[in-house]
Amino acid sequence: MKLRIVCVSVVWGLAIFCFCYPQVEASEGAGVTSGITLIQPVSARSAGRGEIGAANDGDIGLIQYNPAGLAFADQTQVGTMYQRGFDDDTLAYCAVGTPIGWGSVAGSVMYFGTGKIDMYDLNGNRIRKTGQQDIVVSMGTGMRLFDDRAGLGIMLKGISSEIFGETATAFAVDTGFMVRNLIGSLDWGVSVLNLGTQLKYLETKEDLPAQVRTGVAYRMALFQHEFIPYLEIPYLVHEQETLGLFGVEYVINRLIALRAGYKRNFDDASRDDERDISLGIGFIWHQVSLDYAIGITDDLSNPHFVSLNAKF
């Protein structure tokens, strides 16, 4: 069994390399990307522990990091999130997932907007334009493998973006592989995210924020309560940068969850937006969880996240 899992993992790694190497070559060095809405946290649970989720437990709010988590979702789920960021930045998210014979299927809608921004033309007249407004629609599925110990998932996404009145559309795919109890209580996952077409505003084409993620989660008991440390390494394909994500989650009597996380850019330590601490708390009542998180960043944006998840 373990040999088969290792073989699949190796094949998956080679497939990831084959997908990403042409993307890196085409970028001709480190660059910037558009469509950053695609990498925003859509769960306060994730945001509170460092935006980690490559090895997830099938939570509908974590599948954006690895759609293979859908393979382990054994109940119908509904998840919503609201984020209030700097100035009038707003992000809203809603997702629904349900189990089927081989795993589960899910769909989601995400909205991000900066609101109206005052601008002035050459004559000094004030013009109000939408700074940025994105809508992302996703649909995906996950399938269990190897006596339900491993999962394979795929997510298809469409994004409609508007920046200062200029519109663009793009399509992307996420895919991932995950193994539960690989060694003892250690879960491991790997995923490739946001591989797709470019966003084109007028004559300018911009790449989507493609990523390769791999991470582990280790479930253990601490003072008779569940304690899970996480380690995750995302690689930003077009920027050619590597991040380090560290997080913990401590669940007390399955009623209260305490979370903390840290994010670091290994290749560019000056990036204030990629060096921050996050804190979170969750309240669990039967099949319903209410979560809150705050990001403590060097650039003082300090985003707040609130999410509500229910299982049936």
> Do 71 and 58 contact (CB within 8 A), yes or no?
yes
Q: Is residue 285 part of a domain?
A: no
State both tokens at 70.
């859908």
In-domain check, residue 19: yes
Is 293 a domain residue?
A: no
CA distance 271 to 86: 17
- Among the listed residues 190, 100, 168, 93, the one whose alpha carbon sits nearest the alpha carbon of residue 138: 93
pLDDT at 66 over 90: yes
- Give how many domains the chain has, as a whole number: 1
**pLDDT single digits (tens) 5-57:** 555 554 455 455 555 545 444 444 444 556 788 988 899 999 999 999 999 88
Closest CA relative to residue 191, chosen from 310, 296, 302, 62: 62
Write down the pTM of the prediction. Answer: 0.83
Q: Residue 169: beta bridge partners?
A: 160
166 is in which domain, residue-wise? 2-38+53-77+100-268
Whether residue 23 lies inside any domain: the answer is yes
Residue 33 lies in a domain: yes
pLDDT the model gives residue 132: 83
Residue 273, pLDDT score:
53
pLDDT in tens, 225-253: 999 999 999 999 988 999 999 999 999 99
Residue among 232, 227, 303, 285 nearest 258 (CA): 227
pLDDT tens string 258-281: 999 999 888 765 555 555 899 999
In whole angstroms, what is the distance from residue 124 CA to residue 100 CA?
Answer: 59
| Collapsed DSSP state (helix, strand, coil) of residue 27 | helix
Asked whether residue 144 is domain-assigned, the answer is: yes
What backbone torsions phi and psi does residue 11 show, to the nearest 5 degrees? -60, -40
